[in-house]
Amino acid sequence: MQDVQDDLLARAKAWLAEDPDADTRAELARLIDAEDHAELTARFSGTLQFGTAGLRGELGAGPMRMNRSVVIRAAAGLAAYLKKQGRHDGLVVIGYDARHKSADFARDTAAVMTGAGLRAAVLPRPLPTPVLAFAIRHLGAVAGVEVTASHNPPRDNGYKVYLGDGSQIVPPADADIAAEIDAVRTLHDVPRPDTGWQTLDDAVLDAYLTRTDAVLAPGSPRTARTVYTAMHGVGKDTLLTAFARAGFPRPTLVTEQADPDPDFPTVAFPNPEEPGAMDLAFAKARETAPDLIIANDPDADRLAVAVPDAAEATGWRMLRGDEVGALLATHLVTRGAHGTFAESIVSSSLLARIAAKANLTHVETLTGFKWIARVENIRYGYEEALGYCVDPEGVRDKDGITAALLITELASTLKQADRTLLDLLDDIAVEHGLHATDQLSVRVEDLSLIAAAMNRLREQPPATLAGLPVTTAEDLTRGTDTLPPTDGLRYTLDGARVIVRPSGTEPKLKCYLEVVVPVAEHAGLPAARAKAADLLTALKRDLSTAAGI
């Protein structure tokens, strides 16, 4: 035991000796002086793993935390990878959000790229992630880095990597970059000059905003009134400018959440999907009676939408991501869209029916916009987790700014006809069947609980769920005819579908549920909704039992 503890302290002291950050040096020194073996073990039990989601984790000292030492190694690995790909003097664009240490991580990345002989350009200030995704292709960069933890808790930060096509990395690039990161033995081997990179001016932001103009139909109605929350993130200024350019009424701000604040003081989790996160927006809407509420997550690549609904206690109902996905798809079809509609496997099958009716190609991908954005000839893509790509020629990623413009255009068009988004959702249900979705999501402290639940489902797959026979059970680790392998399970039932997978960015087991109820067979929408609600409740109950969660 003493040898193990001595080795742990030795590794911590070696890390401390090359840590460039005064804050994490002081933090680690305190742990070493206190001989806090439990905390040191948590921080030095391995390394934060780089994958298709890049890096994401809790801020702090040590290789299992997000800090400048980890970021410098990640940047050095990316630089080495790019040079092995022949991109010796290519441009790397770097963006960042307003979280703790984001600006430091961006500056370190620029220094590492410059020291490696690449060219580096940093966005002028904290800006939405879609601006970085746009800038990569606009500037002809070979790669891009966005420093963000998106909607994670305030203690986290992250590091998202894009290649020159403007899409996030996918295999095998992730493993190749990870191997180069592992090859970095000491930070002393990583040149980090103090100067040599470019800080961009607002020209790239202006170019992005010019591109947002193209999202809307010329001469379309622009009358819908909105309440907007930036969820303490970086979306406000960009969204307000985009709305002003488009000619929409200025959104009414949720002032308590309008400006960047890395501590996210009004929310437990800065994610519009989390309970309570939208309470201030609902309160502002009750004061001002807008046509809809729009919300971005902190890096503004996601969009949440809420609509007036007297049946709700708050007077407002959050639309599910699948509902917004169907509304935007229907709007684009009405406007004469051409090309391919794409979605991840965990999103509603309704998009396939909308595309088929419009004689458009439909493609399913694995979870994540890194896959959706790569679909050939993509015109529109979405994922149920509030992500929408409505202008793939401009941004090959989810974009909460352009999606907000498009949903507000749709609300304006309906308003002109004295109709609402809920009216259109009813029309879609009558035409294609009521596609009702829900999610069973379990957050854990012990990741082994997720593995245990997946193993239990694999070893004892359910024969029925909600009284419906399971007609097909697929272990997605084996891949399918159209999908590469991934850690997940898919059950097809008569009139329902269930997908179970571990989250790629959070310690959660996520179960995606969908039931399809023909409206005509149930004598109208109210009866169909009641049937769907009963089925979803039963699916949650039975799946929870089967997984032991």
Describe the crossing of helices 236-246 and 203-213 by its angle, rounded to 10 degrees: 50
* pLDDT tens-digit readout, 407-430: 999 999 999 999 999 999 999 999
Alpha-carbon span 362 to 365, nearest angstrom? 10
In this structure, are 134 and 180 located in the same domain?
yes
* Average per-residue pLDDT for the chain: 95
In this structure, are 275 and 229 located in the same domain?
yes
Q: What integer pLDDT is reported at residue 480 of this predicted model?
A: 86
Kindly report the backbone phi and psi dihedral angles of residue 515, in degrees, each rounded to the nearest multiple of 5, phi listed first: -125, 145
pLDDT at 398 over 70: yes
Adjacent-strand bridge partners of 331: none
In this structure, are 376 and 470 located in the same domain?
no
Q: Where do runs of H (alpha helix) occur along 234-293? A: 236-246, 279-288
Q: Do the domain assignments include residue 16?
A: no
Q: What integer pLDDT is reported at residue 189 of this predicted model?
A: 93
In this structure, are 270 and 419 located in the same domain?
yes
Alpha-carbon span 406 to 483, nearest angstrom? 30
Which range (91-95, 129-133, 458-462) has the least confidence?
458-462
DSSP letter assigned to residue 250: P
Q: Do the domain assignments include residue 34?
A: no
* pLDDT tens-digit readout, 162-214: 999 999 999 999 999 999 999 999 999 999 999 999 999 999 999 999 999 89
Q: In percent, how much of the chain has pLDDT > 90?
A: 89
Which range (101-115, 171-185, 341-355, 508-522) has the least confidence?
508-522
Alpha-carbon span 353 to 133, nearest angstrom? 30
* pLDDT tens-digit readout, 29-59: 999 999 999 999 999 999 999 987 799 999 9
Owning domain of residue 471: 434-547
Domain end marker among 394, 429, 464:
429
Look up the CATH number of the domain holding residue 518.
Answer: 3.30.310.50
In this structure, are 369 and 500 located in the same domain?
no
Tokens standing for residue 122: 């940093």
Q: What is the residue whose two structure tokens read 């040191």? A: 40
Mean pLDDT of 56-72: 97
Residue 401 CA, distance from chain mean position: 14
Residue 412 Rama label (left phi>0; alpha psi -120 to 50; beta): alpha
In this structure, are 344 and 267 located in the same domain?
yes
Q: Do the domain assignments include residue 49?
A: yes
Among residues 340, 348, 435, the alpha carbon closest in space to that of 384 is found at: 348
Domain end marker among 429, 459, 476:
429
Look up the CATH number of the domain holding residue 347.
Answer: 3.40.120.10
Q: What integer pLDDT is reported at residue 521 of this predicted model?
A: 73
pLDDT at 256 over 60: yes
In this structure, are 111 and 167 located in the same domain?
yes
Catalytic residue, candidates 102, 150, 344, 349: 150
Cα three-residue angle 334-335-340, rounded to 5 degrees: 85
HSE, CB side, 13 Å, CA atoms: give it for residue 509.
22
Residue type at 55?
L
Q: What integer pLDDT is reported at residue 448 of this predicted model?
A: 84
Strands 378-383 and 340-344: parallel
In this structure, are 413 and 475 located in the same domain?
no
What is 509-542 written as a DSSP string?
EEEEEEEEE-TGGGTSHHHHHHHHHHHHHHHHHH
In this structure, are 170 and 266 located in the same domain?
no
Q: Do the domain assignments include residue 8?
A: no
* pLDDT tens-digit readout, 265-288: 999 899 999 999 999 999 999 999
Among residues 273, 26, 21, 59, the alpha carbon closest in space to that of 147 is found at: 59
pLDDT-based confidence at 1, cuts 50/70/90? low
In this structure, are 418 and 438 located in the same domain?
no
Q: Do the domain assignments include residue 214?
A: no
544 part of the active site: no
DSSP letter assigned to residue 476: G
Alpha-carbon span 102 to 47, nearest angstrom? 20
Q: Do the domain assignments include residue 353?
A: yes
Q: Do the domain assignments include residue 7?
A: no
Q: Do the domain assignments include residue 457?
A: yes
In this structure, are 407 and 271 located in the same domain?
yes
Q: What integer pLDDT is reported at residue 306 of this predicted model?
A: 98
Tokens standing for residue 6: 């001595």
Tokens standing for residue 64: 């299992």
Domain end marker among 172, 205, 238:
205
pLDDT-based confidence at 4, cuts 50/70/90? low
In this structure, are 263 and 412 located in the same domain?
yes
Show the beta-strand stretches assigned E in 164-302: 198-199, 226-229, 252-253, 292-296
Q: How many domains does the chain have?
A: 3
DSSP letter assigned to residue 140: T
